[in-house]
Amino acid sequence: MNEKIKIMVVDDEKVVRDGCHRVLTGRGYEVIPAENGQIALDILANDAVDMILLDLKMPVMSGEEVLEITGKRYPDIPVIIITGHGTVDTAVECMKKGAYDFVTKPFQIDQFLLTITRAAEKRTLEQKARQFEEENIRNLYDLNLEKSRLKTMINCMGNGVMVTNRNLEVVLHNPALMRLMEISREVKNPAAIVEIINHESLINTLKQIQTGESSGSEAISQEIAVGRNVLRAISAPALGPENSIVGTVTVLEDITAFKELDQMKTDFVNMVAHELRSPLVAIKQQNSVLLEGLCGPLADKQRDLLTKGSNKIDALLELINDLLDVAKIEAGKYVQHRVPTDIGQIIEETVTLMEPRGKQRGIALSCTLENLKPIQADPKNIEEIFNNLIANAINYSPEGGQVTVTARGLGEYLEIKVEDNGVGIPPEELPKIFDKFYRVKHPKTRNVMGTGLGLAIVKAVVEAHHGTIDVESEVDKGTTFRILLPAIPQPAAE
């Protein structure tokens, strides 16, 4: 036993007290003797015991009186009556009043120990049951407290929250959800999903999550329209034991203001770009007239200044065109006319077009084409991809450098690489190069002009054609851009 069972022996006969002490301590019990009932009550007032052996016939206070008092004050302590043969009937009456059992004098050791053992087990079981009950009450209290906290937090959230069970019934929702869904009536849980959500796309998403068709525990984000508002719904599985899916959790956020702001930004960019492009084109045309000598001969200094001005105008027009392209990409209107496209022809034409620029900087261009298949694409967009990548490779390559474009069929895809042996990109800057307006900072490329939008446009165009782009680079050794684009499936040979 981890803790000894404390047994109080209440008997006016010393021989009985000593006998019980000898037998019980030998069995691992702790024995507390008491000469009469009053002493026993005084001990109980200051010390806890697990069992009482109580003699009926004692001076000062009888066993019946002690039993009555302990039954009221200490009802959990089992009392075993010690009685002689002449008082068995009285002992039976005591059991009716709450005593656990009785033993008769002289004791039969085996029977005596059996009675003690049963009483000790009863006491131990009752204590454990009481502990379990107390722990259960504490757990229920903690559970209710956490549930109350959770409910308070969810109800105070500005975003809508909806939890469904396996049957796609709503078992938890907050006031913000009802406000976002424009529902004024009260909906009690559990409720059918269609009482709150009537968007088929979102319901289908929740069904996919329930059946495990979605990828693992990843959240699925989608936009839904409610009245004049736009909501972003982020849904994820609710996991139970052993990561089994027991329901779904959806958080809805009102993004109407962000959509309106984004549209305002796009409209502003379009307006500014168009308003700037027209006067710049006019100024460029006038400069061209002057440079061609149609308004009279120019001095060298005047020609130099006009040429520099025209170059600056070209840079501004390039920035405006890039801004317009970005606005179209964000609006989903950039890639529009997809047709079967020979990508090899576009690469050859682009390389031929860029060769004079490369020669001017002392850079050699070459291309290798192998086993190419047509792709479904917008030729103008594909041409812009290679214009950007090859122009960058030339700009960031040293004099005497080499720029190589390779394209080959790779199963169901076309792999295109644009490689240079230029200044390279530091590892910490690689994750940022496709960000809008980001340019790699390098002392050798300080004079390279650019908007920082080219690679962002390239990435957007590649992804719009269901492809991927990645980059590998090493400082002072060069950079390689690798593009994968899906080829048009070829009919099976008969």
What's the rounded mean pLDDT across residues 357-374?
90
What's the rounded mean pLDDT across residues 171-191?
87
Could you say which of 232, 254, 276 is where a domain stops? 254
DSSP-derived secondary structure letter, 181: T
pLDDT given for residue 347 in this prediction: 92
Residue 137 resides in a domain: no
Residue 249 resides in a domain: yes
Could you say which of 236, 254, 272 is where a domain stops? 254
Q: Residue 58: give its domain's CATH number.
A: 3.40.50.2300
Residue 38 has pLDDT above 50, yes or no: yes
pLDDT given for residue 337 in this prediction: 73
* Parent domain of 92: 6-131
> What is the bridge-based pairing of β-strands 160-164 and 101-104?
unpaired
Quickly state the pLDDT bin for 85 (edges 50, 70, 90). low
Average pLDDT of the residues of the chain = 84
Q: Residue 168: give its domain's CATH number.
A: 3.30.450.20
pLDDT given for residue 405 in this prediction: 93
pLDDT given for residue 427 in this prediction: 87
Task: Give the pair of three-digit tokens for residue 261.
Answer: 């702001």
Co-location of 177 and 196 in the same domain: yes
| Of residues 474 and 336, more confidently modeled | 474
Residue 296 resides in a domain: yes
As a residue count, the chain comes to: 494
* C-alpha of 250 from chain center: 12
pLDDT given for residue 451 in this prediction: 64
pLDDT given for residue 494 in this prediction: 46
Query: Which run of H or of E encompasses 460?
Result: helix 454-464
Co-location of 307 and 421 in the same domain: no
Report the alpha-carbon distance of residue 155 to residue 176 in Å, rounded: 7
Nearest to residue 385, comparing CAs of 457, 478, 330?
457
Sheet of strand 402-410, all strands in order from the earlier edge strand to the far edge: 364-370, 402-410, 413-420, 478-486, 468-474
pLDDT digits (tens, 9 = 90+) for 90-104: 778 888 888 888 888
CB 155 within 8 A of CB 174: yes
CB 251 within 8 A of CB 234: yes
Co-location of 108 and 246 in the same domain: no
Co-location of 321 and 343 in the same domain: no
- In the chain, pLDDT over 90 holds for what percent of residues? 21
pLDDT given for residue 251 in this prediction: 92
pLDDT given for residue 33 in this prediction: 93
pLDDT given for residue 450 in this prediction: 61
Co-location of 237 and 326 in the same domain: no
Domain count, the chain: 4
Co-location of 378 and 482 in the same domain: yes
> What is the bridge-based pairing of β-strands 375-377 and 339-341?
antiparallel
Report the alpha-carbon distance of residue 79 to residue 99 in Å, rounded: 5
Co-location of 348 and 482 in the same domain: yes
Co-location of 370 and 482 in the same domain: yes
Residue 152 resides in a domain: no
Co-location of 352 and 475 in the same domain: yes
Could you say which of 254, 269, 285 is where a domain stops? 254
Residue 148 resides in a domain: no
Co-location of 474 and 346 in the same domain: yes
Residue 440 has pLDDT above 70, yes or no: no
CB 439 within 8 A of CB 447: no
Phi, psi for 371 (deg, rounded to 5): 55, 50
pTM exceeding 0.75: no
Q: Tell me the residue type at 278.
A: S
| Of residues 203 and 271, more confidently modeled | 203
Sheet of strand 79-83, all strands in order from the earlier edge strand to the far edge: 30-34, 6-10, 51-55, 79-83, 101-104
Residue 447 has pLDDT above 80, yes or no: no
Report the alpha-carbon distance of residue 481 to residue 330 in Å, rounded: 23
pLDDT digits (tens, 9 = 90+) for 203-221: 998 988 888 766 556 788 8
Co-location of 363 and 442 in the same domain: yes
Q: Residue 346: give its domain's CATH number.
A: 3.30.565.10
Residue 153 resides in a domain: no
CB 251 within 8 A of CB 159: yes
Co-location of 286 and 211 in the same domain: no
- List helix spans (H) across 243-378: 256-291, 300-330, 343-360
Residue 491 resides in a domain: no
Report the alpha-carbon distance of residue 157 to residue 24 in Å, rounded: 65
Residue 425 resides in a domain: yes
| Of residues 343 and 318, more confidently modeled | 343
What's the rounded mean pLDDT across residues 430-454?
70
Residue 229 has pLDDT above 50, yes or no: yes
| Of residues 273 and 257, more confidently modeled | 257
Residue 1 has pLDDT above 50, yes or no: no
Residue 445 has pLDDT above 60, yes or no: no
CB 248 within 8 A of CB 164: yes
CB 255 within 8 A of CB 238: no
Residue 283 has pLDDT above 70, yes or no: yes
pLDDT given for residue 480 in this prediction: 93
Half-sphere exposure of 420 (CA within 13 A, CB side): 26
